[in-house]
Every structure is written in structure tokens, then in C-alpha cells.
A and B are shown apart, each in its own frame.
Chain A
């Protein structure tokens, strides 16, 4: 999952990015409100972590403009303002969650996963598909109950495919899920990861639609 972090403090931004990366998120970090709006316009991020005291454009303004555009992506506010009135203002402006600094990285990651889960319309924390089960919090994948060892990128790719079964994701879309702005993308990286996943999960688990992209078939429940 790729998230946008809007935070003007360099130390906090670097730490949050590092911590969330360790939890399997792809994090893009901007340091002011205007840069956040530009990044949001791309539409590649699944969620926004928003500091309220941003230079150039305040966090609440960014959030308001986002909601007015009809952008429904989950937004989690990270701020030092802990007064009840501030929280109410933040949530009423369209935020989905509110965390007061200082916060725990584990809790941040858990809340982020919950937001992403709800935004994709699921109630269960597990993504399951046939005999394959993916646990985003524990970073585990099981096939028929047996753990399957996946690299971080393979895991992220599988998570992206399982989040929307039946949808075809292009190579560019998958790359966007896997790589932040600062990561360098190898030319056939997606193919390499797909190949590895097929080897570990079964050859026909991920289907290729030639010229379009990849998908996991929608499961017909029995």
C-alpha cells in the first residue's frame, strides 16, 4: 500500500517514513501543503497522513479541498494539537482518524491498515482468496494454512492484487504501488515478482491479460 505523508518536521517525517516502510508501506513524503496537493492529484496513493501545521497550505485546507473534489481516500491526521475542539474540527473536515503526537509507530501502522481495509469495503483484517490468505498486519501469507515466505515487494504486489479481486492492474499501476518516488524501478521488476509469486502460490493464481496487466480471478463462493 502506498501512502502520502505530509509532515514539515524533517526528523518526524524521516522516522515515520522509515517506520512505515518497515511495516510494508510504500511512503512518499512531502513537506508542505502545496506539494501534498500536487501529489494527491496523481491519485497513486491509497491514503494520506496529514500534519495540520503545514507551511504554504494548512493541513485542514488540503483536506477540505480534497473532500470538495470528491476524493474519498482515507485521511489520518497527525498533529500536536490535542484539544477536543481541534480533533472535532479535524474529523468534521473529513478526516477518518486523528492521532496526537507523540504516537506509537505500531499504532499508526495498525490504524492505517484499518482505514485501508474499511476504504476497500472489507470488515475482516485478512485478505483471502481461495486457498491463499494474506494478513497485512502480521505480514504473513498462508497457502492451505502453511506459511509462504515472500519478499517485501512480492508481499506488496500480492496485497495490491488481492485488494481488488477481478480488477486488472497494469504494470504502471503495480509499479506505483510498489515504489515510492525515491525508489529506483528496475525495468522488468514487476514480471520478476509475478514470476516468483506464481512459483510460490501456483501457476494460475495470478492471471496475465496480455497487453493489459495482471489480476486474481474473483472467487465464486461455494
Chain B
């Protein structure tokens, strides 16, 4: 039973019934006490009234002839114990007299017996206790009957009041139902009961966070579409120039340009995919123990031809093994993007160093990539991690041609690994140095 309304109704009515039952028992017990006192008094009076007159003169028998519950049995003995009178033959009643009140157990139940001397005779008056119980029970019943009668009315009232009390919940539910990914405005919080308000408040918080995440996603898609259009426009134009070419030499040059444009467009779409995969919650991949040094060696081997083509001295300064807890593919793209960035923005004849300092003594592994490029102005350093942001060094740098996503990918991967990124100066005070500090591996 999962309805608050039904549960409240059952518990409230159940409680009420228990209370009524307790009241009935209480009333019954008190009524019986009172009935005892009353009937005892009656027995005594009866006995006293019999002492005044010789039993022989009693007209028409004694009072208390069997008139239902109040049945009285009278016995009279003389001094010698000879029974002189018996109003009704009752075998179960004692054939002797014990003076005062006694309670006698018989086959017919308990009897209340009163005996007293009346001159030379012993008068005994007896009455079944059943009479007293029945009187008490009827009194108790009279008390609780009206209560029982209003119970259905109470039930209906409770049902109705709870429904009214729960109305705000229905209103909130309707308001939430109207919300959609395009309409995430907060649910009105005023006029709500204190019990419902925390729920709605929490819900509004969730809606707000959801709205922000959706807006970020929409912006990203719009940005991505816009950013894809630029390399595609270039490819489009380059293809037109290739079509227009009249000599072999022109055509060769145009096709080489076209290839460059295609490579740029391909790279951008790959970077977008990498970034999409890093989105939290997209795919939870298993985290392994990864040797960062080995990964760095592989990345450097991949990018060595690029460095050689630009006459850049690319080197690794790493401890033999440096283990971190992480996703190997993501970590590879982190290192690859950092080194690629450094190579892009370092002029010919420059130098790019990749360093890996081992963890130990509670310190995590630190990866650094330093170059002799133009660096990033301190004012720009906070923004370079934004998607598609390109610093002043990147603007107008015809050779660099970055996608504007490299550092955004680095940031996503680092965040997922709990690593901290610090931007500093590069080699010999020039260029850029990026440090990524991974947390220590926990066993």
C-alpha cells in the first residue's frame, strides 16, 4: 500500500478504533464496579426486608422471583440448619450460610451470596454475577455506540482532508510534467506547504543545473558546426582552384593545398570526437594502472617526424616507469595534444621537452611539456582551456592552424583523472610550460 492517503486513513481509523475499544473496556470496568456496589446494596436490603416478617406470611412468594437477569434466590434456615424456605431450587447454591458477602463458583457461573441472621433464622440472598456483567456491558455499549456511529463520518473527513492537504503535490507534479528540455524554468516555490517546499527547491536546483548543462551542450554543438564550416569552406575553395588550374604545376600546387585543407578538417573532426568521448557520463571506461613514461615515449615517437620537419629538438626526460591510475586512450590524447600544441607554436630551431617526474612519498606523477614558443600571456591563461578559444599567439599564426580544441581536451582528461594543470613559463623563461599533476595512486 503505497498511497499516503490510504496509509494515513488506515492508521488514523485503526488508532481511533483502538481508542474506542480502550474506552469501552474502561467504561465496562467502571460500570461493573458500580453495578457491584449497587447490587450488593440491593442484596443487603433484600435480606434486611426479609428479617422483619415470618416467611410464612410472605404473600405470593418472595420478591426476586425469576425475572431474567436480576434473578434472586432466597434461602432461609432455622437455627438448627433446617431449611425453612427456598425460593427456587438451585442445586448449585451452597446449603449452608456463611455470614456476609461471598462469591460462589457454580456450573452456571459465579453467584454473589449474602447471608445474615434474622432473629432465629439465617437468611441468604443470592444473585448470579452474570446480571452485573450484562448491566456493565450494556452501559459500556451505550457509551461507545455513538463513537462507533461517527467513525465512518470521521473516515470520510480524513479522506477528504488528506486529499486537500496533498493537492500541492498534484500541482507540483503537473508543473513538472509541463517541463521539457526546452522549457526548464523553475517550479513556483511560494504558497507550498513546508513539507513540499524542500522537494521543490531541490527539484529547481536540479532543473537549473540541467538547463546549464543543456545550454553548454547546445553552445558546443553550435560552436562545433561553426568551426567545422571554416575548414570545409577552405576545402571547398581549394577544390575550386584545383578545377580552375590550367597547368600541371598549378594543379599540383592546388591539390597539395587541398590535401592540407582536408587534413585540417579531418583533425578538427577527430578532436571533436575525442572531446565528445571525454564528456562526463558518456562512457565510463575502466581505469587501469598506466605507465605514463611508456605512453609519452610512444607519443614522442609518433610526433618525431613533425618535430624533425620543423627542426625542433623534441626530447623526453622521464623516469623509467611512472604509474598513474587512468584511461590509457585518454591519457595518450592528453600527452599528444600537449606535445602537438608545443610543436605548433614553437618556431623552427626551437626545443620541446617532455618531462615525467615519478610519484612517491605521497606525491603523484607530474607530467610537464615545455617549449620555446611564444607562450601564453598570463591574462590569456585562464581562457585557453575554453573550447575554440585561440590565444593571441595562435591568431594570425599561419603555420600553427590549431583546432582550438587541444587544451580543452587536455583539461577534460585531466579533470576526469583528478589531475591539476598549471600553466607556467617554458624553457629559459620563454615559451609555455604546462604541468599536469596526477594524484598519487591509491592501492
Q: List 13 A-B contacts (CB under 8 A).
A: A8-B395, A9-B233, A11-B238, A11-B257, A12-B233, A15-B234, A19-B237, A19-B241, A31-B396, A81-B226, A102-B233, A102-B236, A103-B236
Query: B350 at interface (Cβ–Cβ under 8 A)?
Result: no
Asked if A104 and B240 make an inter-chain contact with CB atoms under 8 angstroms apart, the answer reads yes
> B-side interface residues toward A, CB under 8 Å?
226, 229-234, 236-238, 240-241, 244, 257, 260-261, 264, 392, 395-396, 398, 401
CA distance A31 to B257 in the complex (A): 19
Asked if B234 and A80 make an inter-chain contact with CB atoms under 8 angstroms apart, the answer reads no
Chain B's closest residue to A35 (CB) is B396
CA distance A52 to B368 in the complex (A): 37
Chain B residues closer than 8 Å to A12, beta-carbon distance: 230, 233-234, 237
Chain B residues closer than 8 Å to A16, beta-carbon distance: 237
Chain A residues closer than 8 Å to B236, beta-carbon distance: 102-103
Query: A32 at interface (Cβ–Cβ under 8 A)?
Result: yes
Total A residues in contact with B, Cβ cutoff 8 Å: 23
Query: A55 at interface (Cβ–Cβ under 8 A)?
Result: yes
CA distance A101 to B237 in the complex (A): 10
Chain A's closest residue to B254 (CB) is A18
Chain A residues closer than 8 Å to B241, beta-carbon distance: 15, 18-19, 105
Task: With both chains docked as a complex, state the minimum distance between the C-beta of B224 and any C-beta of chain A, in angstroms.
Answer: 12
Cβ-neighbour of B396 out of A32, A80, A101, A104 (below 8 A):
A32
Task: With both chains docked as a complex, state the minimum distance between the C-beta of B430 and any C-beta of chain A, in angstroms.
Answer: 23
CA distance A177 to B237 in the complex (A): 25
Chain B residues closer than 8 Å to A81, beta-carbon distance: 226
Chain B residues closer than 8 Å to A185, beta-carbon distance: none
Chain B residues closer than 8 Å to A137, beta-carbon distance: none
Asked if B396 and A11 make an inter-chain contact with CB atoms under 8 angstroms apart, the answer reads no
Chain A's closest residue to B265 (CB) is A11
Chain A residues closer than 8 Å to B232, beta-carbon distance: 102
Query: A120 at interface (Cβ–Cβ under 8 A)?
Result: no
Asked if B230 and A55 make an inter-chain contact with CB atoms under 8 angstroms apart, the answer reads no
Task: With both chains docked as a complex, state the minimum distance between the C-beta of A17 and any C-beta of chain B, in angstroms.
Answer: 10
Q: Mark A30-51, 1 if CB is under 8 A from B, else 0.
A: 0110000000000000000000
Chain A residues closer than 8 Å to B260, beta-carbon distance: 11
- A11, A80, A106: most-surrounded residue (chain B CB, <10 A): A11
Chain A residues closer than 8 Å to B237, beta-carbon distance: 11-12, 15-16, 19, 102, 105
Query: A22 at interface (Cβ–Cβ under 8 A)?
Result: yes
Asked if B240 and A10 make an inter-chain contact with CB atoms under 8 angstroms apart, the answer reads no
CA distance A14 to B234 in the complex (A): 9
Chain B's closest residue to A11 (CB) is B234
Chain B's closest residue to A51 (CB) is B230
Asked if A19 and B244 make an inter-chain contact with CB atoms under 8 angstroms apart, the answer reads yes
Asked if B229 and A105 make an inter-chain contact with CB atoms under 8 angstroms apart, the answer reads no
Asked if B257 and A103 make an inter-chain contact with CB atoms under 8 angstroms apart, the answer reads no
Cβ-neighbour of A80 out of B230, B244, B264, B401 (below 8 A):
B230
Chain B residues closer than 8 Å to A103, beta-carbon distance: 233, 236
Chain B residues closer than 8 Å to A102, beta-carbon distance: 229, 232-233, 236-237
CA distance A8 to B260 in the complex (A): 17
Cβ-neighbour of B234 out of A9, A22, A32 (below 8 A):
A9
Chain B's closest residue to A104 (CB) is B240
Cβ-neighbour of A101 out of B230, B261, B398, B401 (below 8 A):
B230
CA distance A16 to B392 in the complex (A): 24
Chain A residues closer than 8 Å to B264, beta-carbon distance: 11
Chain A's closest residue to B229 (CB) is A80
**With known contacts A32-B396, A105-B237, A11–B244 Cβ distance under 8 A:** no
Chain A's closest residue to B399 (CB) is A10
CA distance A105 to B232 in the complex (A): 14
Chain B's closest residue to A82 (CB) is B229
Task: With both chains docked as a complex, state the minimum distance between the C-beta of B399 and any C-beta of chain A, in angstroms.
Answer: 9
Chain B residues closer than 8 Å to A8, beta-carbon distance: 395-396
Cβ-neighbour of B257 out of A15, A101, A104 (below 8 A):
A15
Q: Given contacts A9-B230, A11-B234, A19-B240, could you give 12 more A-B pairs where the C-beta distance is less than 8 Å?
A: A10-B398, A11-B231, A11-B237, A11-B238, A14-B257, A15-B241, A19-B237, A19-B241, A31-B396, A56-B395, A80-B226, A102-B236
Within 8 A of B (CB), among A48-67: 55-56
Task: With both chains docked as a complex, state the minimum distance between the C-beta of B322 and any C-beta of chain A, in angstroms.
Answer: 38
CA distance A45 to B231 in the complex (A): 28
**With known contacts A9-B234, A12-B234, A101-B229, A55–B261 Cβ distance under 8 A:** no
Chain A residues closer than 8 Å to B229, beta-carbon distance: 80, 101-102
CA distance A32 to B397 in the complex (A): 12
